[in-house]
Structure 1
Amino acid sequence: MAELENPDLMPKLITFLSSLLKRVAESNDLNQQQLQHQKISVFQGLTRPTISIHGYLDRIFKYANCSPSCFIVAYVYLDRFTQRQPSLPINSFNVHRLLITSVMVSAKFMDDMYYNNAYYAKVGGISTMEMNFLEVDFLFGLGFHLNVTPGTFQAYCSHLQREMLMMQPPLINFADSSLNLGKSVVKAHLCFNDDESSHQNQQQLAV
C-alpha cells in the first residue's frame, strides 16, 4: 500500500510495531513452561536490554536509512521466522537482536544501497562478529525464504494499515486486534501465498 510507505507515517508504524512486539515478548516472558523448553539460540541475551523496544526500533529507523518497505518486509520475515521456529518465541531477551537482524536482511534484499554488517552492528549495539552470526542463523531459520511477492507485501500492508487506523494516541487499542497475541508467534491472520519461491556511511553513531 502506497499510503503505508509514506515516510510521514513511519513514526506511527514504529509505534505500532514496537507495541505489538512488546506485548508478544511480555506474554512469552510470563509463560515459564515455554521458556524452560526453549531452544538455545544466538538471539537470546543473558539479560534484558535497557533500551525499550520502541527506542531500539526508532534508533534503527534513524540510523539505518533503509526504505519504509524494509520495515514491512522485516515484519514479514519475523512472522515467517517465528512460524518456522516455534521453539524460539519472541521474548524480552531476543526481540532486539531479531529486530536488527530482520531489518538488515530486509534492507539487503530490498534496497539497492545498504550498509555493511559492521555498521548495522554499531546501530544495534553489538559486535560485528555477533551480527554475522545472527544473520546466518536468521537466514537458516527462514529457510532462505526471502522473496516477498507483491500480493504478500500488499496483504501485510493492508493488515498493518487497518491495525494502525485503530490506534488512539497516545495508546494503541488492541481490543479488536486480529493478531493472535496469545500464541508464541507473531502471526497475522491473513490469507497470503507462502509459496514464494556495501554501502558505507561515515555518519557517527552514539552507541
Structure 2
Amino acid sequence: MNQDLQEPMAEIMPNIITAMSYLLQRVSETNDHLSQKQSISGFHGITKPSISIRSYLERIFKYANCSHSCYIVAYIYLDRFIKKQPFLLINSFSIHRFIITSVLLSAKFMDDLCYNNGYYAQVGGISKEEMNMLELDFLFGIGFQLNVTVSTFNNYCSFLHREMVRLTNMNSLSVEPSLSFRSSFETKPVMNTLEEDSLITHHNKKQLAAA
C-alpha cells in the first residue's frame, strides 16, 4: 500500500468507519422499502441482526486487524457487487453478511497476512461453513474482479472523506436511493491482476524495496 495513502488514512479511519456505516445504513433502509422484485440469496437472513451496522463495523475493525485500506476496498467491492447483481439488493436482512464477506476478501487480496475464514466467521457471528459459502457467492457475484486501481481507490476514499466531513459539520448525509453507491467512480474498465496502476502492485513494490 502506498505510504502516502496509508498515513493520512490512519488518522481519519475511525471517522471513515462512521461514514461508511451511515451510508450503508441509508442504503439498506432505502432498499427495505423498495417494492420491486428482489432475489433472495445466502446473504439474506430470516431476521434482522440485533447489532447495528456501525457496531458491526467497529467490531470488525477491532478484531480483524486488517489494514485501513481494506475497508475502502471492501466498500468498492460492495459497489461492484450491486452493479453486477442488481436484483440482490443490500438491505437490513443482508447488509451484515455482505460487510463481513467484503472485508474478508479485501484483507486476503490487500494484506500480506490475514486471519482465516474460521476467525472471520467468529468475528461476524456466523459459522465457518457459511463464511466459506458467502466468500464463493461474493466472488462469483463480482466476477472475481478484485483488483482496484489507485485512481479508483482515491476517488472512493475522497468521497467517504467528504461524507465524513459533512456528517461531522452538518450532522447529516445525503444518499441517492439508487442500486449503486457511487456509479460515477467506475468509469474505467476493470483491470486484470497484472495492471500496473493497482493497489496490490504498489504494495508489492514497497515490499520489494524494503527487502
TM-score class normalised by the smaller sequence? 0.7 to 0.9
Distance 1:69 1:5 in 2: 11
Match of 2:12 in 1: 9
Q: What are structure 1's unaligned runs of at least 5 residues?
A: 198-207
Aligned mates of 1:144, 1:23 — CA distance in 2:
27
Q: Structure 2 stretches of 5 or more lacking a match? A: 193-211
Distance in 1 between residues matched to 2:156 and 2:32, nearest whole Å? 26
| Equivalent-residue separation in structure 1 for 2:12 and 2:52 (angstroms) | 20
Q: Is the 8 A contact 1:4 1:157 kept in 2?
A: no
RMSD: 1.8
Distance in 1 (alpha carbons) for counterparts of 2:39 and 2:125: 24
Q: Alpha-carbon deviation of 1:107?
A: 0.1
Counterpart of 2:180, as a letter, is V
Distance 1:142 1:191 in 2: 13
SS for the counterpart of 2:157 is: helix
Matching residue of 1:184: 179
Aligned residues: 189
Checking the alignment, whether the CA contact within 8 Å between 1:151 and 1:192 is kept in structure 2 is no
SS at match of 2:184: coil
Structure with the larger helix share: 2
CA–CA separation in structure 2 for the residues paired with 1:27 and 1:193: 28
C-alpha contact 2:83 2:179 (8 A) present in aligned 1: no
8 Å contact kept, 1:118–1:128: yes
What pairs up with 1:8-157 in 2 under 5 angstroms? 8-31=11-34, 33-34=35-36, 37-157=37-157
2:149 partner letter: T
* % identical equivalent positions: 53
Q: Is the 8 A contact 1:89 1:185 kept in 2?
A: no
Counterpart contact for 2:18–2:164, Cα < 8 Å = no
Residue 173 of structure 1: CA displacement?
A: 2.2
Give the direction of change, closer, same or farther, for the CA distance of 1:75–1:4 in structure 2 (3 Å limit).
farther
In structure 2, do the counterparts of structure 1 residues 5 and 97 end up closer, same or farther at CA, with 3 Å as the change threshold?
farther
How far 1:7 sits from its partner (Å)?
2.2
C-alpha deviation, 1:172, in angstroms: 3.7
Kept after mapping to 2: 8 A contact 1:73/1:148: yes
TM-score with structure 1 setting the length:
0.85
Contact 1:71-1:103 at 8 Å conserved across structures: yes
- 1:16 and 1:172 in contact (8 A); partners too: no
**Alignment correspondent of 1:194:** 189
Q: CA deviation at 1:77?
A: 0.2
For 1:10, the aligned partner's letter is M
- Conserved 8 A contact 1:5-1:69: no
Post-superposition shift, 1:192? 3.7
Alpha-carbon distance between aligned partners in 1 of 2:172 and 2:41, rounded to the nearest angstrom: 32
Deviations 1:112-152 (A, max 9, x none): 00000000000000000000000000000000000001111
Assess if the C-alpha contact under 8 Å between 1:81 and 1:138 holds in 2.
yes
* 1:18-46 CA distance string (max 9 Å, x none): 00010111111111x22xx2112000000
Deviation at 1:189, TM superposition (A): 3.2
Asked if the contact 1:43/1:98 (under 8 Å) is kept, the reply is yes
